Amino acid sequence: MKPIHELTPAQHDELLAVLQSVPGNPYEAHEEFVAAVAGTTAPEFLTEVCARIREDREAGRSEAHVVRNCPIDPVVPDLDLDDPIADKYRKKRTFVGEALLALVARLTGTPLMAYGSRNNGDFFTDVIAINKYSGMKTGFSDSELPFHNDRTAHWARADHISLLGMRCPADEVIYTTFVSCRELLRHLGTRDQEVLRQPWFTTSFDVFSQATNQSQRSSGAHPILEREHSIRYLETTTTVLPEAPGEAKDALLALKNALVVAEKQRHRMRDGDLLLFANQDGLHSRDRIEILDPDLAATRWLLKTYAFRDRAAADAYADRWQDGVPGRIAD
């Protein structure tokens, strides 16, 4: 995946100065922090990059983008992987990464999203291994991840995801792979597409979701293809309902075959890489290609945000805001 833009050293320093000027702690006072970000003046080059991203999305040219050499916090703390979230609260006292993600969300017109039952309702969360989930199929593990949408089984799913490389061990070869739904549709026949648009499928919640919300066990019936080119699918976990007709299983197998042959985009994250991609208009995976030091690879830390595709998409959930905080889903 070729970067859409690589910040020059001068651009890096200019943006860092803007981000460091943002006061507050997003984990203690999110709304005040985001308001402070909105009050900053973004560098012209970042405004232009975000405009290109919006144009690419609207035109259907690309659903995945990389911006390289972005500023991150001067000190990236080592986190206790028994409970990295709580340890982050204790140790992370600067919020450059969070300010960058909030600023990019504002410039791309994609309001931030969070879940009340996950990570204390934080809008800035972490893709990092938690020891007790080692080897399990969840983003909070040290394992590979099959193709999926984030929160596939949930009734509220982000339209876009942003990942910022905070700590990406240079010698550990780990790729994020993305495949667009548009590309998958090219490899699916008309009848299979029609079947995949029926609510004949179901998806189980991942182990982390089940542990943090006792009501989250299964999605219930849902289609796999939605809207013009959106998809709801978690490889190995999305299955056919028992009462579904036989052609539903055939269509699911056709989708699995399409995933094998469809063109994919791959990116190996570095420190300071910002990766943005569509969550509902594509699928992504985590591929561990060569791991030299498993303990070091487990310290890989990506700062993540969820976002709605636009204000109208966010407003559709306005009656579900937790504590009246826009974007925080009460689930």
CB 160 within 8 A of CB 307: yes
pLDDT of residue 132: 87
Going 35 to 39 to 42 to 47, the CA torsion angle's sign is positive
**What is the average pLDDT score of the chain?**
94
pLDDT digits (tens, 9 = 90+) for 44-91: 999 999 999 999 999 999 999 999 999 999 999 999 999 999 999 999
Q: How far apart are CA 309 and CA 287, in angstroms?
A: 27
| Closest to 226 (Cα-Cα) out of 179, 181, 190 | 181
Contacts of the segment 244-247: beta carbons below 8 A, 24+ positions apart: 244/198, 244/200, 244/201, 245/200, 247/191, 247/195
Q: Which two tokens stand for residue 281?
A: 């208009």
pLDDT at 228 over 80: yes
The helix or strand, by DSSP H or E, that contains position 239, with its residue range, turns out to be strand 238-240
Q: Which two tokens stand for residue 65?
A: 């983008």
Q: Which two tokens stand for residue 63?
A: 């659903």
* Overall residue count recorded for the chain in this entry: 331
pLDDT of residue 142: 86
* DSSP 3-state percent helix, strand, coil across the chain (nearest 5): 35, 25, 45
The confidence band for 216, taking pLDDT boundaries of 50, 70 and 90, is: low
The phi-psi region of residue 281 (left if phi > 0; otherwise alpha if psi is between -120 and 50; otherwise beta) is: alpha
Task: Give the mean model confidence (pLDDT) for residues 179-196.
Answer: 98
pLDDT at 136 over 80: no
Helix ranges restricted to H, the chain: 9-20, 30-38, 44-59, 84-91, 96-107, 181-185, 190-196, 207-212, 246-261, 294-297, 311-315
Residue 31's Cβ-count burial label (10 Å; 0-12, 13-18, 19+) is middle
Number of domains present in the structure of the chain: 1
The confidence band for 227, taking pLDDT boundaries of 50, 70 and 90, is: very high
CB 280 within 8 A of CB 141: no
pLDDT digits (tens, 9 = 90+) for 57-67: 999 999 999 99
| Closest to 162 (Cα-Cα) out of 35, 36, 49, 85 | 49
Q: Which two tokens stand for residue 104?
A: 């990019």
pLDDT of residue 137: 74
pLDDT at 209 over 80: no
Task: Give the mean model confidence (pLDDT) for residues 178-200.
Answer: 98
pLDDT of residue 133: 86
CB 289 within 8 A of CB 85: no
pLDDT of residue 61: 92
Q: How far apart are CA 116 and CA 120, in angstroms?
A: 6
Least trusted range by pLDDT, from 94-108, 196-210, 298-312: 196-210
Task: Give the mean model confidence (pLDDT) for residues 308-331.
Answer: 95
The confidence band for 214, taking pLDDT boundaries of 50, 70 and 90, is: low
Integer angstrom CA distances of residue 312 from 126, 152, 308, 316: 27, 21, 9, 6
pLDDT at 272 over 80: yes
Q: Which amino acid is at 265?
A: Q
pLDDT of residue 87: 97
Domain boundaries, position 300: 5-329
Q: Which amino acid is at 221?
A: A
pLDDT digits (tens, 9 = 90+) for 159-182: 999 999 999 999 999 999 999 999
Task: Give the mean model confidence (pLDDT) for residues 264-277.
Answer: 97
Percent of the chain, pLDDT > 70? 97
The helix or strand, by DSSP H or E, that contains position 148, with its residue range, turns out to be strand 145-148
* CA-based R_g, the chain, Å: 19
Q: Which two tokens stand for residue 88?
A: 């982050």
- Residue 222 is classified by DSSP as B
pLDDT at 207 over 80: no
pLDDT at 245 over 80: yes
CATH of the domain at 61: 3.60.130.10
The confidence band for 115, taking pLDDT boundaries of 50, 70 and 90, is: very high
Q: Which two tokens stand for residue 222?
A: 């849902």
Task: Give the mean model confidence (pLDDT) for residues 102-109.
Answer: 98
